[in-house]
Each structure stands twice: as C-alpha cells, then as structure tokens.
Amino acid sequence: MADDRSNGTPLTQLLGQVRPDFLMRDGFAPKSAISEAVIFAHIHCLPSSVELLSFLIEKVGFDPSKIIVIPKAYSTIPNSLQELKRQMGFRVLLSEGELRRGLYDEYAAVSLNRACEIADEFGKYERKPPRVVLLDDGGTLTERWFNYGLASRFETVSVQQTTSGLFRPPFHDRRILKVNVAGSAAKRWFESKIIAKGITRKVFARISELERRKIGVVGYGAVGKALADAMSAHGADIVVYDKSRDVRSHRYENAASLDQLLRKAEVIFGCVGKDIFEGCGNALEAMAAPQIFASCSSRDVEFQSLFRYAIPTESQNPFEDVTIRAGGLHNILNGGFPINFDREHEWEEESEIALTRALVLAGVCQALADLEPHAIEGSNIVPLGVEIQKNLVDCWLDINGMSTEQFCVKRADFDNREWWLKECFNGP
C-alpha cells in the first residue's frame, strides 16, 4: 500500500497508512498470504465499515469470496447493508426471526452459528486450512468459534476491537490468539475521546436540557472518562461510580456506591460492558425519582436486569425506549442498545472515525503475521504494534489539524516508545 495522502477521503487516506514496514518494525513479518486468508467479520454495518471492507479488497488484496460479514442488527444502517450485498457482493449472514427485548444474544446466535457451519463446510474442501481472521466486535463470534471446536481445525486469529471482547472466553488458550486493538494506547487515549464526542452529540440531540441535569457515569474506564469530560465541557454536572476501589476520578464527584449514584443522578450512562444491576437488587430502591438510562457499551447488556420491570407494550419495535416501573417510572433509551447507534447515520465525522477503522485494518494485517512469539506470557493476547499505532495517530492528528496535547498527551510521551507500551491494557 502506497503512502499517499493527497487523494481520497480522510478515511481512505488514513487506511493507506497501514503499511507493512511499520508492522515489521515491531517484528510482525507476513506469514500467511493475503489472497488465501479468510475473514469472518462480526461488525457494525455503517458507511465507514463498508469503506473499510472495500479497502480490504481493492487496496490490500483480500479475496471478496473469502469475506463473510455478520452485521449487528442494532447498529445496521439499511443503505450500508444494501451496498454490502448488492454493490460489493459480500456474503452477508442475517439472523431471522423476531428480535425481542433483552434477548439480543439469543437472536444473534442464529447468524453466528451459521458462520461456524460455513467454516465447517469450507474446511472440508481445502487441502491446507487457511488462516482465519475473526474481525470481532464484542467477542461473541470468537467465543462461539472456540466452543464449536473450530480453533482446533483452523489457524485462527481474533482481532478484538472492544474491551468486552478481551474479557470473553477463550482465556489464555493460544489456539486463538487475540490481536489487542481494544486495549491499545491509540484507542484508550485518542479514539475513546472521539467516540465520547459522538455519543455526546447524540444524547444532547436526544435529551433536552441535558446540561441542567445531574449526569451519572457508571464505569470510569477509557470511554467513561472521555464521556465525563465531553459532557462536562457542555456544562453538565458529573458524578461517577466505578466498582473497582482503585479507580477514582480526580475531576468529578465520586459516588461511594451504585445506590448513591442513583440517588444523585437523573441521567445514567453505562460504560461497563456488562449488566450493571446484576446482583444489585437493593440499588433499585434508590430509584424513586424518574431517571433516564443510556448504554454506551456492548449490545443490550448494560441494563438487562431492569428489563424484568418493563411495562408491557404492543409495539414490535425492539429499539423503542423501554419504560420500567422500579420505585418510580424510568426510561431506558434505544431499547437498551448503545445510544449512539440509531440505524440512521454515524454520529462521528468521517475524519474522526477514520482512526477507529484504520486501527482495525492494522489489526487485520498484523493477524497474518507470526504472532506466537509476541503473545503476552501466560496469555493469548498479542499487543497491537507500537510503530503502526504511532504512525496512524500522528497522521490522523495531521489530517484533523489536532495536537497530542488536545488529548492530554505530551508530545515527549507520544514520541517515547515506552509510553505506548505502558499505556496498553492487555486484558484479564
């Protein structure tokens, strides 16, 4: 891939910066041929995702007949889906049946099982099993692939874009190595702030007078911190709660418990990636005043324990706001799915989301290298290469006319390889 930032969109310009020489500086020399690799992509079907898949074929050289796409129903934009199927000819697997409230994983299992069956059939006719890359957003495809026994039949690498994917099985089993895009310093320090900006745009358009309400953020990791900062910049009053006693905010009010946060906040954002209220039945007693809940994380898991208090409705729309009765009447926005996925458009500008897609492309290209020597000791996690991260972020900042200091990163740290290694989170 040539280094050419003079042509194309901001996204394609940055994708063109994913070059083998940067991967090789970290020892990731190509091992498997691009034309022979198979990709199963369990992803959000969005315009920028379509552009990434197009780039994989037209510029990188992947065989389109060996790319199987499993779109996520709660984020799929219809026009993007049609482009994938009709114009680009990808094999797209969709779940059939009714998507019911709080049962997204059950609904999605149909298409994930079908993906495993296709792989099973595919392997019967191959002399040499190809390297399979699982481009996985959330880890459910990787876990199902492993449980299906396919990790023993195919040389499998999973590219993990979310922290929740790192925490899903398989753990430590090196039959599936996980390229850690999710915990890379590039995502934690730079991309998380862009996602938070998109979420903030959406919620300020969705909820009136948000800046006059007390905002609660549950989960003070990379996204939680970035979201608190983005909303504070709009004048919102913030209180945060993180289950880990080691995680405290030095900028915002800290709630000592989930109960306390519920008593203080009017709008609660979940940034945890798992059911916030699981095993916390007593916390519901704190919810006397009407509250609004919005997920910023995976699928519909953040508030699943609250669905049992949902008031019945005749609506067949799984993405409709859910009204619950628990102490008082409360609303869960967007059917419990991440608030920034409205199935209409992306809430990040293309120049902003370019970093997200470029890091995924870097993970896919790294997945074709010999990864075993680079795996964290006692783990199946392989850090994303430092040099490719630095180059992508540097070019992305240049395209957007931004500096490292705008992301609270000193330039001296940015140029220091040890900083990138130290700021990488390598999972459980």
Q: What is the CATH classification number for the domain harbouring 205? A: 3.40.50.720
The 3-state DSSP class for residue 400 equals: helix
**CA-only gyration radius of the chain, Å:** 21
- Within 13 Å, how many C-alpha atoms sit on residue 353's CB side? 17
What are φ and ψ of residue 85, in 5° steps? -80, -45
Tell me, yes or no, whether 128 lies in a domain. yes
Last residue of a domain, one of 305, 336, 367: 336
What pLDDT shows up at residue 410? Answer: 97
Tell me, yes or no, whether 428 lies in a domain. no
β-pair partners for 157: 133, 177
Position 17, amino acid: Q
Whether residue 339 has pLDDT greater than 70: yes
Instruction: Tell me, yes or no, whether 309 and 354 share the same domain.
Output: no
Query: How far is 157 from 367, CA to CA, in rounded Å?
Result: 6
Instruction: Tell me, yes or no, whether 25 and 174 share the same domain.
Output: yes
Instruction: Tell me, yes or no, whether 325 and 385 share the same domain.
Output: no
- Between 139 and 279, residue with greater pLDDT: 139
Query: How far is 4 from 12, CA to CA, in rounded Å?
Result: 10
Classify strands 214-218 and 237-241 as parallel, antiparallel or unpaired: parallel
pLDDT digits (tens, 9 = 90+) for 30-76: 999 998 899 999 999 999 999 999 999 999 999 999 999 999 999 99
Q: How many domains does the chain have?
A: 2
For residue 199, what is the enclosing H or E element?
helix 192-206
Query: How far is 293 from 288, CA to CA, in rounded Å?
Result: 14
Query: How far is 51 from 46, CA to CA, in rounded Å?
Result: 9
pLDDT digits (tens, 9 = 90+) for 294-320: 999 879 999 999 999 999 998 889 999
Q: Is 396 left (phi over 0), alpha (psi -120 to 50) or beta?
A: alpha
Token pair 């392989």 is found at: 382
Q: Determine the average pLDDT of the residues in 139-163.
A: 95
Query: How far is 297 from 271, CA to CA, in rounded Å?
Result: 6
Tell me, yes or no, whether 408 lies in a domain. yes
User: By residue range, what is the domain housing residue 70?
Assistant: 10-187+346-422
What pLDDT shows up at residue 310? Answer: 93
Tell me, yes or no, whether 127 lies in a domain. yes
What pLDDT shows up at residue 1? Answer: 45
For residues 267 and 332, is the Cβ–Cβ distance under 8 A? no
For residue 328, what is the enclosing H or E element?
strand 328-332
What pLDDT shows up at residue 129? Answer: 77
Tell me, yes or no, whether 274 lies in a domain. yes
Instruction: Tell me, yes or no, whether 176 and 208 share the same domain.
Output: no
Query: How far is 87 from 18, CA to CA, in rounded Å?
Result: 25
Q: 2: pLDDT confidence band, cut at 50, 70 and 90?
A: very low
Sign, CA dihedral 227-233-237-239, equals positive
Query: How far is 156 from 38, CA to CA, in rounded Å?
Result: 10
Last residue of a domain, one of 309, 336, 363: 336
How many of the other CB atoms lie within 10 Å of CB of 244? 9
Instruction: Tell me, yes or no, whether 119 and 149 share the same domain.
Output: yes
Q: Using CA atoms in the order 111, 353, 86, 367, what is the torsion angle rounded to 10 degrees?
A: -60
Token pair 């898949």 is found at: 53
β-pair partners for 324: 310, 330
What are φ and ψ of residue 12, in 5° steps? -65, -30
- Within 13 Å, how many C-alpha atoms sit on residue 417's CB side? 7
Tell me, yes or no, whether 3 lies in a domain. no
For residues 426 and 180, is the Cβ–Cβ distance under 8 A? yes
Instruction: Tell me, yes or no, whether 317 and 374 share the same domain.
Output: no
Instruction: Tell me, yes or no, whether 129 and 25 share the same domain.
Output: yes
- Between 245 and 83, residue with greater pLDDT: 83
Tell me, yes or no, whether 227 lies in a domain. yes
For residues 348 and 191, is the Cβ–Cβ distance under 8 A? no
- Within 13 Å, how many C-alpha atoms sit on residue 261's CB side? 27
What pLDDT shows up at residue 286? Answer: 67
Instruction: Tell me, yes or no, whether 136 and 33 share the same domain.
Output: yes
Instruction: Tell me, yes or no, whether 303 and 257 share the same domain.
Output: yes
Contacts of 263 (CB under 8 A, 6+ apart): 286
β-pair partners for 381: 178
Last residue of a domain, one of 336, 369, 400: 336
Instruction: Tell me, yes or no, whether 198 and 182 share the same domain.
Output: no
For residues 414 and 209, is the Cβ–Cβ distance under 8 A? no
**Tokens (6 digits) for 317:** 């729309």
